[in-house]
Structure 1
Amino acid sequence: MVVLTKSHVTDLTREQYEGLAAVLTDKLKAAPGFIAHYAWEHEDGMSVVEIWDSDEQHDAWFENNVKPNLPVQVIPEKHELVNKVTA
């Protein structure tokens, strides 16, 4: 099942996000099941949306690579996608 995950990380600055992204982007691109990653800034932090081939693949990536580097605990919101169209 293709899954979309959404996380809002309060108190994570754009600079902190960019530092994490610099370290993790190449590993993320190589992660099994990874499809896409998008991030944007809010007044109180950063939000991230990702698309993965499966919930399990996302969870393995998040637990091993993202969670240990976040300043606060985050539980991603997950949605099963019923369709996927790419260019």
Structure 2
Amino acid sequence: MSVLVNNIVTGLTREQYAEIAAALSDRLKAAPGFRAHYAWENEGGMTVVEIWDSASQHDDWFDNNVRPHLPMEVTPEKHELVNKVTA
């Protein structure tokens, strides 16, 4: 079943997020298992939520592509989805 991955990235500015997203968006869309990406500002930084087919596919992508661009340590919170409804 799919997994929802929640990253609360304290200290990451909207501008830093935009720079990272611009550099990685095309590769993210082509990554095996990737389904969706959402991001918004929170009081202390940015929140990024993604949907993946599996946690291992996310982890491979994140560790090899995202983590090297982050100026701070982030520990993704993962939730196995028991249902999803899409349009």
CA distance in structure 1 between the partners assigned to 2:75 and 2:11 by the alignment: 15
Deviation at 1:14, TM superposition (A): 0.1
Matched pairs, number: 87
- The 5 Å alignment of 1:21-36 reads 21-36=21-36
- The 5 Å alignment of 1:4-83 reads 4-83=4-83
User: Equivalent residue of 2:49, what SS?
Assistant: strand
C-alpha deviations, 1:44-86, integer Å up to 9, x for none? Answer: 1000000000011000000000111111110100000001222
Structure 1 alignment gaps of length 5 or more: none
Task: Give the TM-score normalised by structure 1.
Answer: 0.96
CA RMSD of aligned residues (A): 0.7
CA distance in structure 1 between the partners assigned to 2:62 and 2:39 by the alignment: 15
Residues 1:85 and 2:85 are matched in the alignment? yes
CA distance in structure 2 between the partners assigned to 1:85 and 1:53 by the alignment: 15
Task: Give the TM-score normalised by structure 2.
Answer: 0.96
What amino acid maps onto 1:65 in structure 2?
A: N
